[in-house]
Structure formats: C-alpha cells, structure tokens
Chain A
Amino acid sequence: MAISVAGLSKSFSAPILGRRVPVLDCINLEVTEGRIVALFGPNGSGKTTLLNVISGIERAEAGAVSISAEDDHRPVLEYVFQNFRDVLLPWESTLDNMGFGLRARGATRSAARERARCFLDSVGLELPWRNYPYQISVGQQQMVVLARALIQSPSNILLDEPFSALDHEIRFRMQDVVVSTTVAQRLAVLLVSHDIDEALYLGDELILLSKRPGSIVRRFTVPFPRPRTHALLTSTEFSALRREVLSAFLTELRP
C-alpha cells in the first residue's frame, strides 16, 4: 500500500472559542501504486489539512499514516501545494525552478536543467524557461510547480488543486500528463479537487467528504477504463455518475 490512512482525526485549537475545533473525523483511505484517488468536498471539510497530515507538516491527534515506496531510488513523497506561488523561487529561472528538487537531491544544475528540458519536450509543453517566475503568467507558474514535483519521479504524490489556475486547453493537457505519469511510473496520487468533472475524469476512486469536521460520506468507484480521453466528459455514463456524486454532495450540504 503506497499511502494508507487509518482512523485519522484532527482538531485545531481555537483560543477565541476556548475549545478545540474538530477538522477531520476518523478518515480511512488507501491509495495503491498506479492509482489516483480524488478527494471532493465543500470548503472547510479538511481536504488540505488531510494532505498536510499525510505529508508530515501537521500532526493528527489520532490515527495512523503510512507511506511506502516500491523503489528505494525514488523520492517517497512530493506535495504540490495549493499555494503554488509561494513555492517558486523568484531568483531562479523557470527551468531551474523545475529542476530544484533534483538539485536538492544531489543532481548538478546542468543535469537538472537537462531533465527539465526533456520533461517539457516529452509532454509537449512550451514554457518561457529562461524567464524568472515573476515574468511568466500565473497559469505557467502553476505548471512549473507541478512539473517540479513530477520531474522527480516520486513514488507518491499529493496534489492540492494543481490545475486551478490553468485554462481549459492546458488543464486538459496537464491532466493527461499526470495520468500518463501515474500509469507509467506506478505513482500513487491523492488529488484534492473542487471540480467534479476533473475529479471523475482523473480518479480511479472519488471520496466525498462531509462539511466540517470532515468525515467520509461516500466512496465512488470510477469505472471508466484507461486510457481515457476528454470526450468521456460528454458521455452519458459520465453524466450519470456525475449526477450521482452531485446529488450526494448536495444532500451533504443541506443544513
């Protein structure tokens, strides 16, 4: 099992209220190699907190998290933050930002650049790679951060709304890059998305979280075989599943 979460609960201290506010309530989930699990839920349901706990940035009061890797040579975990603009290093070029993780793990600057260029070529993306992050668009910045994570070929990856700033064309392209990398490199992906179409198109499983404190309301298995194309989004099977997820979501939102 690549990512495994068992009985995880977490609360935040709220000095103004004089008590602790529960955020996550008994979360159980598993992501195996080569699969994408999408987390879907309303704002404040603790999706980002869950990723923070899994990555070790935050601690939970109860429960266990385990992350494993089949291949010792690959980084165990990468995390693409929702707050991608803060992640970029403004003094490094776009290309060097993409290669940052490789350099941090011992690669030379030129080797990291070479890998970054190969990555861009292989996915057919055009980025102004000589420019600094403040000289490129917000969408391009998000692509750089996603590329920085994928380039390192991690065993497991946490993606927090990784396509939110991309236009439809680039978004579709990057979604396919994530899927093909997941399959080719047997990546375990835990994806947070606010976009129901995206969650269903990418996911092998969709987990619907409740309002705060977030608990798992329902799990949907996404039955569409891979490789998928974006034409799937217009199919009747997709629409039926989408309706089912949406009605469960709306029921959850009801006061």
Chain B
Amino acid sequence: MKRHMLIGPAILLLCWITVTSGGIVRPLFLPSPKAVGAALYTLTWSGPLGADVGTTLFRTGVSFAISAVVGLCIGLPLGIWKSVYRSLEIVLDFFRSLPSPAIIPLAMLVLGLGDASRIFVAAFTCSLINAVQTAYAISSIPRHRVLAARLSGAHRFFLVKNVLLPSVMPGVIAGWRITLSLSLIIIVVTEMFIGTRSGLGMRIYDFHLMFRSAEMYSYIIVVGTTGYLLNKGIETAEKRLVHWAGK
C-alpha cells in the first residue's frame, strides 16, 4: 500500500476526533473513536465478532457461488441464442429491476426463517446480474476472432476451450466483482430482517435497538472493511486470471 493512500482515512479519522471531542455531536449518535476502538477490541477478543464475521462470510460465499454457477447456466443460452434472449428479455428486466428486499417476505413465507431464505434472496438477485453479464460477454466476442479461428480449423471443444471461454471470462468476472459485493449487501440486509442469532447485520440492528452506539459503529466498520477486502480480493484475482481484460 502506498503512503498517500492513507491520507483519506487519516482525514476521516481527524474529522471524527474533532467532531466528537468538541462535543458537537452527542455520543449516542456518534461515539468517539476511542470508545468505538475499545468496543471493537472487546467484541473481537471476548465477544461474538469473529463468529459473526464467519457466519456472514459463509452466507455471502454460498450465495455468491450459487449465483456464479446459475448465472453461467442461464447466461450461456441467453448469449448464444439471440431468440432466447429476446423471448426472456422482459421477464429478466422485470426481476432485475425488482429490489431484493421486496422478496424477503416471500422467501420467509416459502423457505422459513433459516439461512435458506437469506441465501435465496441474495443468490436470486445476483444470478440475474451474472446471467446478463455472461450473455453480454458472449454477444460482444469479436466476430472476426471466431470466424478466423474456425477457418483455421478450430471446432467444437477446441474452439470453446481456446477461444470462446477465454473471450467471455473478462465479462463474467466483471459480473462477479459486482455480485460478490452485492451478495454481502443483501445478506447483511436480510440478517436484519430475517430472524437469526448471528451475523453482522443482525448484530448491527440489535445494538441499534439497545442504544449501544459504540458497538453498532464497530460492526459498521467491520462490515465496511469486509466489503472492501472482498472487492480488493476479487480485483486481484481478476488481474491475475484475465490480465487481458479491457486491452
């Protein structure tokens, strides 16, 4: 990490210290960094933070993995056959436009209050995004790349393995970058609403109800950091796996 990258967080921290030490904001709304740090320390070493992070990451990971597989399975036929895409366009756009919290009650009704509901809501929304990304990646493969490969004797398995798959990978992984972050967002939201005993979202909401602001802020920071690290991780993977993306 370069030194100048720390300037932003330092400014943010400085503002936070100034606002809280000057008594401009009540500690209930914004506790001091020191109080939040102390809460974070306690929650980490003698509290449920570690388990909560694990639970939320597990739910996010499963949702994301399902959406990656389902997205590919739906996206491939959509991208290959224009007629399939045209026939399903309205349905796809409808479900893509549907805000995921809107289907939380439906998921609870059908799948109950367990993890299945949470994972379904996140995986459903992310699958559609991955499917559309895959379809778009297929339809934007340069025509001459495929024509030239076929004229040079590439057929079926060789063509798919050596030309088509590598051509769509940058688009597919760009979709994964969006849906991994989105899976985390949706899982955290569902944890707030669908009964659970652990998870980052559930804990933020619980501390909010108990007016324990320092703990609530600690969890918000942890959620933000988790999202940031997931995004960085997939960005690094993207650079390694598809170094030619956008070139």
Contacts and interface: CB of A to CB of B under 8 A. Distances in A.
Interface string B149-171: 10111110011001100100000
A111 interface: no
A87 B145 contact: yes
A228 B63 CA distance: 67
Contacts of B163: 89
A176 B22 CA distance: 81
Interface in B113-161: 142-145, 147-149, 151-155, 158-159
Interface of B is mostly: helix
B241 to A, nearest CB: 10
A130 B144 CA distance: 24
B247 interface: yes
Nearest to A100: B152
A91 B148 contact: no
A134 B143 CA distance: 18
Contacts, number: 58
Contacts of B243: 91, 132
Contacts of A86: 142-145
B166 to A, nearest CB: 5
A55 B166 contact: no
Contacts of A91: 166, 242-244
Contacts of B154: 100, 104
Contacts of A57: 147
Contacts of B149: 100, 104
Q: Secondary structure of the A side of the interface?
A: mixed
A100 B151 CA distance: 11
A79 B152 CA distance: 8
Interface string B32-56: 0000000000000000000000000
Interface in A19-71: 55, 57
A78 interface: yes
Nearest to A77: B151
Of the candidates B151, B166, B247, the one having the most CB atoms from chain A within 10 angstroms of its own CB is B151
B148 A79 contact: yes
A223 interface: no
Contact of A78 (B143, B152, B158, B247): B152
Contacts of B159: 104
A57 B148 CA distance: 10
23 contacts: A55-B151, A75-B152, A81-B144, A83-B144, A86-B142, A86-B143, A86-B145, A87-B144, A89-B162, A91-B242, A91-B243, A91-B244, A100-B154, A101-B152, A101-B153, A103-B158, A104-B152, A104-B153, A104-B154, A104-B162, A105-B152, A132-B243, A148-B152
A152 interface: yes
Contacts of B148: 79, 81, 87
A25 B243 CA distance: 46
Contacts of A77: 151
* B interface bracket (residues with beta carbon within 8 Å of A): 20 to 34
A66 B146 CA distance: 23
Contacts of B153: 75, 101, 104-105
A117 to B, nearest CB: 19
Given A89-B166, A91-B243, 15 more contacts: A57-B147, A79-B148, A79-B151, A81-B148, A87-B142, A87-B148, A89-B163, A91-B166, A91-B242, A100-B162, A104-B149, A104-B153, A105-B153, A132-B243, A132-B244
A7 interface: no
A199 B144 CA distance: 25
Interface in B202-235: none
Contact of B247 (A87, A90, A149): A90
Nearest to B154: A104
Interface in A217-243: none
The 5 tightest CB contacts between A and B, nearest first, are A90-B244, A101-B152, A86-B142, A134-B247, A104-B154
A250 to B, nearest CB: 33
Nearest to A81: B144
Nearest to A56: B151
Contacts of B242: 91
A148 B147 CA distance: 14
A245 to B, nearest CB: 30
